Structure 1
Amino acid sequence: MHPEAPGWTPSPKVTPTAPEQPAQVRRILRLFRPYRGRLTLVGLLVAASSLVSVASPFLLREILDVAIPQQRTGLLSLLALGMIVTAVVTSVFGVLQTLISTTVGQRVMHDLRTAVYAKLQRMPLAFFTRTRTGEVQSRIANDIGGMQATVTSTATSLVSNLTSVVATIVAMLALDWRLTLASLALLPFFVWVSRRVGRERKRITTQRQKQMAAMSAIVTESLSVSGILLGRTMGRADSLTKNFADESERLVDLEIRSNMAGRWRMSTIGIVMAAIPALLYWTAGMLTQFGGPAFSIGTLVAFVTLQQGLLRPTVSLLTTGVEMQTSLALFQRIFEYLDLPVAITEPARPVALPQVRGEVRFENVDFTYDTDPPGSQARDTGYTLHGIELTVPAGSSLAVVGATGSGKSTLSYLVPRLYDVTGGRVTLDGVDVRDLDFATLSAAVGVVSQETYLFHATVADNLRFAKPDATDGQLREAARAAQIHDQIAALPDGYDTLVGERGYRFSGGEKQRLALARTILRDPPVLILDEATSALDTRTERAVQEAIDTLSKGRTTLTIAHRLSTVRDADQIVVLDAGRIAERGTHAELLTADGKYAALVRRDSQTAEVTVGG
């Protein structure tokens, strides 16, 4: 990795202080606030469904105690029809509440995914150079995807089961309070067990999601085109496979532990709940034997039916509590990203620039990467800019040269606000770039870097990324200016040809010219060329340089150069050394001064990388 690039530091871990659980729950509930109308309707459907379903045992009691013994066929038919209607109404209500709650849940997941993606779009470049791509993808895909059951069904399940439990207990009390107390004696124990299981699963889920993120990072890095090329050429395919298998094995262990955590304890609850009818029959018999009032068959059967109906929602309610505690680990990981501070923000009252001339000034600029602690070696060896005073008149060209690590790329990143200065200011036409909105700044400043990024899409789509409304004619005109039209036209599908992942269908020089064509479409008044030809061979570099010369005409151009042959005609050349301006002048003036620039020219001549004339 380029030592000036912000990826030279180790990847940090996002480890904010975990919020208190009640505060986190309140925050989760706020996610559902925009849909409270639909959720209220779900609650009403759930309550109605639960109340209707409780009527069945009472109808059954009347059938057993009145209709059948008294041979009242009319009443029997009416009660039987009532039980059928109850089942139908309950089913219809259930389908409706499932539809509404699933829709709400999916909308909440959509809101979360969009919020995380939008937040990441606002994060500074340093965040992405220090964070593995797979980790970011895992937060959006695995963590939010893992919350699907929670946000789509948990709320409904909670309301439904809670309503069913309350309604059932009230009905049981109406039948007989003594049997009700016997049925609910073990309920506090069940609640205690479920809470313990929930805490255990939450801890394991956190570990599991981290492991899934690690695996996602491995897949993203090793199965990309670059990863495959590196692995094959280095003979590390088997080693990479073993590494992936080891990570997968750890995930298997966590998945098993997650699924089995508290399984025996929850099964014990189910067994005990299922055995309670025997306890009820025993209790009724003992109460009758010791002088209590006798229970009618209808009452006893209705009570046991209610109790059995209580089994499902009670166990489901306890399980829902466990799932909610488990999902808190997923929500916490998502909230960690949503709570990341945004270092580079748009101004509250941006300054308008109706027409950009293109004058760029660095006024006493200092810059230090946030990851450099005070007094670190990085601060003392060139990863910081100090006291940069520099003016680039509109329409002129500036070349920035220097040894590796001198701060060249860092200087260029400050103009489009990929980073903000630590001290001083960078201005565009006299306006601090921090006072411009992002749309104005991105329209004014174009960047062509050494590493060209192309999407896995058609050539036309990649070019239109710079200008979505560009016509086919404008695409061809930009491609001709970048000297890449003939190569595109020779392809079987022309501009509709897929470029392949990261543009691997094209050579390095062709990709660079595609990047230049994309920038030509955007037509920025200020152009930054960050070592755009340093990775190319001499012949390809010559072709790309011709395209760059075409693109640079009439624009303010800042060129970060490694090969000095590309900068000799610049209006102004600046030599950086350890983050400070060591020399400035034209090519001829700096050669005459016989300082650092002249030494760099001699170095290039000796290594035969380029030939620089006097």
Structure 2
Amino acid sequence: MIPMAMGGPGGGGRPGDAKQDKEWLAEHPVSLHRVAGLFRPHLRTVIVVILLIVASSLIGLAQPFIVRELIDVAIPEQDVKLLLALAGGLVLIALINAVLGVIQTWRATLMGQEVMHGLRTGLFTHLQKQSLAFFTNARSGEVQSRLTNDVGQMQSVITSSATSIASNLTTVVATACAMVAISWKLSLISLVVLPPAIILARQTAKLRRKITGARQREMSTLTSIIEERLSISGVRLAKVMGTGTLDAEQFTDSSSKLIDLEMRSALAGRWRMAAMSIIFAAVPAVLYIVAGLPVTGEGMSIGTLVAFTGLQAGIFRPVLGLMSISIQWVSAMALFSRVFEYLDADQALPVPKNPRQLVASEVRGELELKDVSFRYPGARTDTLRDLNLKLAAGTMTAVVGATGSGKSTLGSLLPRLLDPSSGNVTLDGVDLREVKPQEIAAVVSMVAQESYLLHTSVRENLLWAAPHASEGELWEALEAAQIAELIRGLPEGLDTRVGQRGHRFSGGEQQRLAIARTMLRRPKVLVLDEATSALDTVTEALVQQALDQLAVGRTTLLIAHRLSTVMRADQIVVLDEGQIIEAGSFAQLVELDGKFARLVSNSEFAQQSG
């Protein structure tokens, strides 16, 4: 199943809040057993980290008892030997905890990185196997957000939140036991004082978290405006449409909202700090009063009071952290759920379990479509219906038809960018669904109307198709694509960067670079999907020369709109509403005096040939 319009909390890079996370989990529950399974290979590390956390908490608890002994015994009695031993003990505790903390961080971070690496690579390779329809239906930026934002936040959950919960729980239990051991009277007082202090701090934190969420969402909006309006395409569109003033107003409005949110966030943070300061001052004050009263403070030493006050201060933050577990838990499970949703997406183009081998050097290039129909997910009607078509090895077949007749869909079936809903597509008699995707890519290549170049050098763009190609082979491909002279004239030659989406070059130059890249693959089958439709006459002539060179000796499916291009085809197929209504040579179809003959006689079509 292909997720439609997926956009969970945090989708597209926006942070989700607790309410959104709960709603998401209600619709997309995730198994705790499955989450635990991610850590099963790292069970030894998990145990080591937990033991380190427990050891660190227990060792740290020795500090208040040492302080009590220092104040009540060593200092009053001037026992130098005991004083040095206890002072050394304090330093030793700090040293041991520091070492344990470093080891704990190292092991937890390494485990988190390994788990995230497995998730990232698994998700990336799984998405690579999806059909084009998957990415067409996914919202803009959603796929990137799942791979970067969600997986990145999961790293924080594993290395920070999980260890923090374990540490807080251990600290609270151990500290509570130590408090009772030092003074059960003061422990009872703490039970009265702590709850309202914690509730006050938690309410202040919730207010700040709510404001922070709104601020992050507005910051995400501001970032989106920057990315869209200040990209090459965005700037060009704004200048052409004259929307610069409107864009600036939108940016100003979003920035103004951020001022208010930043002020509220800063004040909420200040109030939170003020509340914490009052609490940290009030709780010890109450303990001092209790210790000073004759009724409750009888027999209580100064050391006991100081030690207990230290423990009291140390238990407050861990308790507050544990009270936020529910929010952290929901957020963490929502992150796992969003990633698992993509991992569970059915492959529309499944890899065959027992693939049939296609040796590229032995492929003849004979293609056949048998009773092929195709319907896009969610569509009510078939885009292609009952197609039967044979492309003889080494021949050119041109496909013509009105916009929406199914030409590009037909072209997408040959490199297996799509699978037919019914029927099959065979290459040399082998169903493409029985062949590994890598083997299909080795023999079938495609040049589309819009070429895609990587934001790197010309050399790297060419080597992307043939990593082991020599310098001579690169120039040979550029020569055949009618662009070698241009590249030689550039100061950096092959090392010239093509710019974002190839904008360093014109549309025709980008097409010729894409053709050169395809030539390096030496495909046996070639699909040309209106590769010259968006070009001017002069540029089209250059690109057409390159395409003619590329098509020599290859089985070629040409999706065309120019009469001059169609005339060179061995076979012409006319599509109408997803069906083949005419097929034959140029002369045969003109003589038939049907749909194709009317296209030829159409003044616009005829002028395009001239």
User: Shorter-chain TM-score: which interval?
Assistant: 0.7 to 0.9
How far apart, in 1, do the equivalents of 2:105 and 2:162 lie?
A: 11
Query: Could you tell me how far 1:530 is from its partner in structure 2?
Result: 0.2
Look up the SS of the partner of 2:608 in the other structure.
Answer: coil
TM-aligned CA distance change 1:528 to 1:337, over 3 Å:
same
1:368 aligns with 2:375: yes
SS at match of 1:345: coil
1-structure distance, mates of 2:134, 2:377: 11
Q: Which of 294, 298, 304 pairs up with 1:299? A: 304
AA of the residue aligned to 1:451? E
Please report how far the alpha carbon of residue 38 of structure 1 lies from its aligned counterpart in structure 2 after TM superposition.
Answer: 3.0
More displaced stretch, 435-444 vs 256-265: 256-265
User: Once the 2 structures are TM-superposed, how far is the Cα of residue 84 of structure 1 from its aligned partner?
Assistant: 2.1
- Native 8 Å contact 1:359 1:394 kept in 2: yes
Q: Which amino acid aligns with 1:543?
A: L
Structure-2 residue corresponding to 1:341: 346
2:313 aligned with 1:308: yes
CA contact (8 A) 1:520 1:551 kept: yes
Alignment map for 1:507-586 (pairs within 5 Å) = 507-586=506-585
1:177 positional shift: 2.5
Deviation at 1:316, TM superposition (A): 4.2
Q: Distance in 1 between matches of 2:277 and 2:156?
A: 22
Query: By how many angstroms is 1:267 displaced?
Result: 6.7
Q: Deviations over 1:262-303 (max 9, x none)?
A: 9968975774465222333344455x527x962233223222
Mapped to 2, the partners of 1:197 and 1:435 lie a distance apart of: 61
Q: Does 1:414 align with 2:407?
A: no
Please report how far the alpha carbon of residue 421 of structure 1 lies from its aligned counterpart in structure 2 after TM superposition. 0.9
- Give the unaligned 5+ runs of structure 1: 1-10
- Show the counterpart of 1:59: 66
Alpha-carbon shift at residue 232 of structure 1 (Å): 1.1
| 1:80 aligned onto 2:79 | no
Farther off after superposition, 525-534 or 114-123: 114-123
Pick aligned residue for 2:130 from 101, 123, 130? 123
SS in 1 for 2:558: strand
Deviation at 1:325, TM superposition (A): 4.5
Q: Which amino acid aligns with 1:64?
A: I
- Contact preservation (8 Å) 1:198, 1:321: no
Whole-angstrom CA distance in 2 between matches of 1:163 and 1:455: 51
Query: What's the counterpart of residue 396 of structure 1?
Result: 395
3-state SS of paired residue (2:141): helix
In structure 2, how many angstroms separate the alpha carbons of the residues matched to 1:97 and 1:62? 30
1:562 CA drift (Å): 1.1
- Inter-partner Cα distance in structure 2 for 1:119 and 1:137: 14
Native 8 Å contact 1:401 1:561 kept in 2: yes
Which piece of structure 1 moves more, 453-462 or 246-255?
246-255
Equivalent AA in structure 1 for residue 561 of structure 2:
H
> Structure 2-normalised TM-score?
0.86
Which residue of structure 2 aligns with residue 151 of structure 1? Answer: 158
Q: SS at the partner of 2:385? A: strand
Match of 1:463 in 2: 462
Contact 1:201 1:326 in 2 (8 A): no
Q: How many Å apart are 1:39 and its aligned residue? A: 3.4
Instruction: State how far apart, in whole Å, the 1-side matches of 2:322 and 2:29 are.
Output: 19
Cross-structure match for 1:12: 5
Shift of 1:532: 0.8
Q: Which amino acid aligns with 1:520?
A: M
Q: CA deviation at 1:28?
A: 4.7
CA distance in 2 between counterparts of 1:338 and 1:199 reads 33
Please state how far the C-alpha of 1:332 moved relative to its aligned partner: 4.5
- 2:184 matched to 1:177? yes
What corresponds to 1:4 in structure 2? none
CA distance in structure 1 between the partners assigned to 2:528 and 2:495 by the alignment: 28
Which letter maps to 1:75?
L
Per the alignment, residue 163 of structure 1 pairs with 170
The 2-side partners of 1:207 and 1:370 are apart by: 36
Corresponding residue of 1:5: none
1:215-230 paired onto structure 2 within 5 Å: 218-230=225-237
What is the RMSD of the two structures over their aligned residues, measured on CA atoms?
3.3
Deviates more, 1:551-560 or 1:260-269: 260-269
TM-superposed deviation, 1:138: 3.6
Specify the code of the residue in structure 2 equivalent to 1:126.
Answer: A
Change (3 A) 1:86 1:202: closer
TM-score by length of 1: 0.86
2:19 corresponds to: none
Contact map agreement 2:284 2:309 (CA 8 A) in 1: yes
Aligned mates of 1:36, 1:256 — CA distance in 2:
45
Determine the C-alpha separation between the residues in 2 that align with 1:272 and 1:371. 58
Q: Aligned with 2:370: secondary structure?
A: strand
The 3-state SS of whatever aligns with 1:346 is coil
Distance 1:419 1:197 in 2: 54
Q: CA deviation at 1:322?
A: 4.7
CA distance in 1, matches of 2:213, 2:581: 51
1:307, distance to aligned residue in structure 2 (A): 1.5
Instruction: Go from structure 1 to structure 2 and tell me whether the alpha carbon gap of 1:442 and 1:394 turns closer, same or farther (over 3 Å shift).
Output: same
Are 1:42 and 2:49 an aligned pair? yes
Residue matched to 1:484: 483
Shift of the alpha carbon at 1:221?
A: 3.8
**Counterparts in 2 of 1:83-94, with a 5 A limit?**
83-94=90-101
Matched, 1:289 2:295: yes
Deviations 1:53-77 (A, max 9, x none): 1111111222233333433322222
Q: Give the Cα–Cα distance (whole angstroms) in 2 for the partners of residues 116 and 601 of structure 1.
A: 49
Cα deviation per residue 1:364-406 (whole Å; 9 max; x = unaligned)? 111111131x3xxxx3xxx611111111111111110011111
1:321 offset after TM fit, Å? 5.9
User: 1:392 and 1:205 mapped to 2: Cα distance?
Assistant: 61
